Structure 1
Amino acid sequence: MQPKIGWCFVLERALVAGDVMLAQKIALETDEAAVLALANRFVRDRPSCPE
């Protein structure tokens, strides 16, 4: 079964890709509900993050 909904969130500052992933991981681990409340939600058939 494939996921039908995804979430995308981007940091306010430009960082190296590894740092972005680490920041996203820490944010999700420490306060997942708050992160998902701010994240952009997208349908699986649109794999890119909405603007």
Structure 2
Amino acid sequence: MSPVLVATKGRTEYAVRCPSCGNWHRHASMGEKKAPCGTAYNVAPRRGRRP
């Protein structure tokens, strides 16, 4: 899942749209995550364009 950066007052968070419920979930770091709805997914940086 490619995250969207969210700048809060104290830190940077990563928001991703859940493939299961369709809601936005925010996480403090990247990697394997489990959403509040119970879905497990990997939050990873976006890949660049392919030539």
TM-score relative to the length of structure 1: 0.26
Structure with the larger RCO, 1 or 2 (CA within 8 Å, 6+ apart) = 1
Say which structure is richer in helix: 1
Say which structure is richer in strand: 2
TM-score relative to the length of structure 2: 0.26
